[in-house]
Structure 1
């Protein structure tokens, strides 16, 4: 149970990656805006992912004292650093997707 493995899992989970990249590219978002940006994520999974990333210090949750409640999410400085690294990996995957898919076909044959 190495702590770094747990953090790596949080950052590289299916929804963790998408939350980090959405906040990196789009800045501060409300919950509903993030949910629209991240196609396919359930409300429950987005809430859990945001809570986990906030607990790890990557996401900042700002609740404004108004009615109805207004909550915004943004990246912390450490979250921006991590998100840039994750975004680089996403860019590399997208740039090498033809090679990756060819490798899959070769392996499956």
Structure 2
């Protein structure tokens, strides 16, 4: 049995080819997807601004440590793509940033 690591993944992308109804829906829900609502969750947390230029999802991915950050990024991007397609939202240029929470060093201030 291999060790499991917890990864925090930010998937960023740009909106693309949004229809008028999609734009209206996103704009109506924009206050529910601002910076204050961002958090890392297994289901993903979507954030975007009213300009509807770009967006980000924040995910917690638990995966085998042997698979590494690349697998965590791929899993998160797959989740983001599925969520966007299910909502009928156009996107492009997905990219990810991954942090392995199990290997992250925490610097504590000395007193």
Instruction: Give the shorter-chain TM-score range.
Output: under 0.3
Q: Identify the structure with the greater helix proportion.
A: 1
Q: Identify the structure with the greater strand proportion.
A: 2
Q: Please report the TM-score for the alignment, with normalisation by the length of structure 2.
A: 0.25
